[in-house]
Structure 1
Amino acid sequence: MWIRGKIFLNNEVIDGCVNFDRKIKEIRKDCRPDIDIPQGKIIFPGSIDMHVHVRGMNLSYKEDVRTATSEAAYGGVTVVVDMPNTVPYINTAERVQERLREFANFSRTDYGIYSGVTSDERVDKLPIAGYKVFPEDLEKPELQFVLSSKRLKILHPELPLSVKQFRNLREIWQEIASISLVSGRFHITHITNYEDLIKAKELGFTTDFTPHHLLLEEIKGDCLTKVNPPIRDLTERRKLLRALFEADAVASDHAPHTLQEKMQPYELCPPGIAAVSFTTPFIYSLVKKGVLSLSRAVDLVSKNPAKILGINAGEIKEGNVADFTVIDFEKDWRYHTQYSKVVETPFDEYSLDVSIYMTIVEGKVAYDGYEVYPIRGMNLFENS
């Protein structure tokens, strides 16, 4: 199949054609296209979200693989990597295999999964993306096995103390201290402040930030903006803007809950914001506003996440998976979820300057600007 249009290739936009089936086969100047992308749109490598809580299994009432990956495709995301804290918890070989079967049957994007911290050595031989280390894991003896693995580790940067305290006591120093407790191939996720970024760089770790830690204010009593680690004050959020230019990646930390759960008293309602479809149009909106360059935007949403994860994606080049995100730079809109089970988020009605024109996964149109289709995504870590 051939797609023709303006293509982001080698850090510039060119007029050209890409030939692909499940992988990119050839790139050239002209062709007789099967898909012809109109003016005002640009074909980018597919967006990769390194941090998604898909839920599913016993938490399917909050979100499931089908709804989460449909929402991702609607937001231009072609690869999601799932966190292990569903029910049952994913940290044994049997549960990893069950989880991978669930994705194989229902995922509408390419995918990967993280295991939780474990002493099950069989897990390390399975096609996982790596391990997720939560604050409470830093005290567990089985952490030593995970630290000895060559696989990627993702750190939620807070101390075990943090999860036992009131929210107003979850301070920045606890995040910085947690980063100092780990070593090896670590990625520090959802940093909330610039000091985290500096510390992570000093120790040779990669980092990501979320749009909600940049844009939102956590209002006491408003469960929609309750998230872990907490959103910081205005001064810290303004300092964190440097992450747009210095962090390695951006991630959504998509964490869905039901509206009923979010309507509980603030002290009891679960933390988390559903935003897997917000991140890509937000980052490319910053390009249109002149805040970011195109190459920096692609680094944040595609190229760098692929490098960190070690997958053949994130760039339009021969041999890579045929995942594309087509951005319409002429159509603005106000954000809302479409396929997620979460129908209310703190980003609702946020003005975005670009929209998703098309999402292509494994060489098939997963979203055409109007509808998500039941294509079959693949585990990109099978041979990584």
Structure 2
Amino acid sequence: MNSILIKNAKIVNQGVIFEGDVLIEDDLIVEVATSISAKSSNCVIIDAEGNYLMPGAIDDQVHFREPGLTYKGDIESESRAAVAGGITSFIEQPNTVPNAVTQEILEQKYQLAADRSYANYSFMMGATNDNLAEVLKTNPKNVAGIKIFLGSSTGNMLVDNEATLEKIFSSTPMLIAVHCEDEATIRSNTEKYIAEFGDAVPVTAHHLIRSEEACYISSSKAVALAKKTGARLHVFHLSTAKEMDLFTNKIPLEKKKITAEVCIHHLWFTNEDYATKGNFIKWNPAVKTPNDRKVLWEALLDDRIDVIATDHAPHTLEEKQQPYLKAPSGGPLVQHAVVAMFEAYHQGKISIEKIVEKMCHNPAILFKVEKRGFIKEGYYADLVLVNPGLPWSVKKENIFAKCGWSPFEGFTFKSRITHTFVNGKLVYNAFKVKDIRAGKRLLFDR
């Protein structure tokens, strides 16, 4: 039996922080108490030294690029970056190549992850204008949900047929996650800026091209359709103040049919950063204004927004260094997401309890993930130790993502992940990822 005892930790769970110990046996948490004694001579004891012990974060939106785009990243490289950042479970999106829009292709991705992933994994089934029959075959017990792109994406994944959308929303009992940007508005705005600048459109126009209006038109339609059909809707990577009026904090999360997510980059950067960061903060939806960021924070703290995620989407340095119109959108974030939120804690913007709620508890609740997201006896031992007073600077040599760059490069974080456990295995320690692919397929209580 694998036995690990974590002692002297500040345990963060369900809105409280208390000093105590956690006993792990094999892949499960078997005891949580103020003081635990080792029950066998071969029990490994880890002194947390008063640092914070939190559940492993669950990132409900990543793009790990496998299959088909593995020169940017792959399941092995990006899951290593995730565990180094305290993310022990991820839900990956279907816009790989080929798109995961059939059950056969979807299952192939699970088979790849079974051999290669350091973190726990699930993959979303992708919807198109013409694959409803395949979507309806999706097993709610072992697939996180259905993903619909209401803005442009790889291949055939833009769903713009309103009759098809209504059929998907009214037919599937599964969670439907959406990327909301109105394609017609974006096209019109792009044409306007090309008419003015030609091929030299500046990146500072990105938030004006992929505008507040483009986001709101799409997200408001999705919310209205969910209300009409009774669908279970989760809106990814919200970026505008205006959209916050679409969501409520009047209902407990367990009863919400419509839930909301914000990503690290929309909480951290604003359009004022384009001048120095350029395409390295080019995401879809775009990073918007300081006021948008301010209202996103307000909505996160008052529970209109339920989840913090990354939308981790690596591209090569060469791709990002192209002119704005050619440079792809997206960037690597899994390694720095938890410490970025701890930075916000140091700045007085959010409590550690709230960070854990939004990055660990809530994704587990709204996706109904089995036995993860909490520090509870009988739950899987996905655990992370965070030292809040161990500064470190992001440099190329300590970036785990395959693309080798980060929008946080040069920034010094005050906090650092010291240990990450996945299913009871210590996979990250002393700033190194061990060669232990401990990830398991996520299952769901549905």
**TM-score normalized by the length of structure 2:** 0.81
User: Counterparts of 1:53 and 1:341 in 2: how far apart (Å)?
Assistant: 13
Name 2:440's counterpart in structure 1. Answer: 378
Shift, 1:180, TM fit: 2.7
1:50-71 deviation line (CA, Å, top 9, x unaligned) = 1100101110001000001000
User: Does the alignment pair 1:25 with 2:30?
Assistant: yes
User: Counterparts of 1:237 and 1:289 in 2: how far apart (Å)?
Assistant: 15
In structure 2, the CA distance between the partners of 1:20 and 1:5, relative to structure 1 (3 Å rule), is farther
Alignment equivalent of 1:149, drawn from 172, 178, 183? 172
User: Does the alignment pair 1:130 with 2:117?
Assistant: no
In structure 2, the CA distance between the partners of 1:272 and 1:79, relative to structure 1 (3 Å rule), is same
1:230-288 deviation line (CA, Å, top 9, x unaligned) = 11122322332214413211111101011111121111111112111111111123233
User: Counterparts of 1:248 and 1:369 in 2: how far apart (Å)?
Assistant: 32
SS in 2 for 1:283: helix
The 10-residue stretch of structure 1 (138-147 or 87-96) with the greater mean CA deviation from structure 2 = 138-147
User: Counterparts of 2:93 and 2:160 in 1: how far apart (Å)?
Assistant: 17
User: Does the alignment pair 1:307 with 2:365?
Assistant: yes
Name 1:260's counterpart in structure 2. Answer: 318
SS in 2 for 1:105: helix
Partner amino acid, structure 2, of 1:238: K
SS in 2 for 1:124: coil
Shift, 1:344, TM fit: 2.0
- Equivalent residues of 1:356, 1:369 under 8 A apart: no
Name 1:213's counterpart in structure 2. Answer: 266
User: Counterparts of 2:278 and 2:339 in 1: how far apart (Å)?
Assistant: 25
User: Does the alignment pair 1:228 with 2:281?
Assistant: no
Name 2:215's counterpart in structure 1. Answer: 175
Equivalent residues in 2 for 1:212-361, closer than 5 Å: 212-218=265-271, 219=274, 222-246=278-302, 247-311=305-369, 312-336=371-395, 338-361=399-422
Shift, 1:164, TM fit: 3.1
SS in 1 for 2:427: strand
1:25-61 deviation line (CA, Å, top 9, x unaligned) = 2223212252323324121111111110010111000
Shift, 1:380, TM fit: 1.0
- Equivalent residues of 2:88, 2:422 under 8 A apart: yes
Name 1:8's counterpart in structure 2. Answer: 12
User: Counterparts of 2:367 and 2:61 in 1: how far apart (Å)?
Assistant: 11
User: Counterparts of 1:139 and 1:369 in 2: how far apart (Å)?
Assistant: 51
Name 2:183's counterpart in structure 1. Answer: 160
User: Counterparts of 2:427 and 2:241 in 1: how far apart (Å)?
Assistant: 36
Partner amino acid, structure 2, of 1:4: K
Shift, 1:144, TM fit: 4.1
User: Counterparts of 1:122 and 1:239 in 2: how far apart (Å)?
Assistant: 37
Partner amino acid, structure 2, of 1:345: S
Name 1:197's counterpart in structure 2. Answer: 244
- Equivalent residues of 2:420, 2:427 under 8 A apart: yes
Shift, 1:101, TM fit: 0.4
Identity percentage over the alignment?
A: 27
Partner amino acid, structure 2, of 1:225: I
SS in 1 for 2:432: coil
User: Counterparts of 1:186 and 1:382 in 2: how far apart (Å)?
Assistant: 16
- Equivalent residues of 1:5, 1:17 under 8 A apart: no
In structure 2, the CA distance between the partners of 1:163 and 1:94, relative to structure 1 (3 Å rule), is farther
User: Counterparts of 2:214 and 2:126 in 1: how far apart (Å)?
Assistant: 21
Name 2:154's counterpart in structure 1. Answer: none
**Rg larger in 1 or in 2?**
2
1:324-383 deviation line (CA, Å, top 9, x unaligned) = 011012201223452211222221122322100110001101111321122220111266
The 10-residue stretch of structure 1 (102-111 or 124-133) with the greater mean CA deviation from structure 2 = 124-133
Partner amino acid, structure 2, of 1:318: E
User: Counterparts of 1:177 and 1:37 in 2: how far apart (Å)?
Assistant: 52
Shift, 1:297, TM fit: 1.2
Partner amino acid, structure 2, of 1:375: R
User: Counterparts of 2:107 and 2:182 in 1: how far apart (Å)?
Assistant: 30
User: Counterparts of 2:164 and 2:111 in 1: how far apart (Å)?
Assistant: 26
Partner amino acid, structure 2, of 1:16: D
Shift, 1:296, TM fit: 0.7
User: Counterparts of 2:110 and 2:64 in 1: how far apart (Å)?
Assistant: 12
User: Counterparts of 1:12 and 1:366 in 2: how far apart (Å)?
Assistant: 24
Shift, 1:145, TM fit: 4.6
SS in 2 for 1:284: helix
User: Counterparts of 1:163 and 1:104 in 2: how far apart (Å)?
Assistant: 38
- Equivalent residues of 1:176, 1:199 under 8 A apart: no
Shift, 1:290, TM fit: 3.2
User: Counterparts of 2:373 and 2:182 in 1: how far apart (Å)?
Assistant: 32
Alignment equivalent of 1:64, drawn from 70, 74, 78? 74
User: Counterparts of 1:106 and 1:236 in 2: how far apart (Å)?
Assistant: 38
Alignment equivalent of 2:120, drawn from 110, 114, 117? 110
Name 1:36's counterpart in structure 2. Answer: 46
Unaligned stretches of 5+ residues in structure 1: none
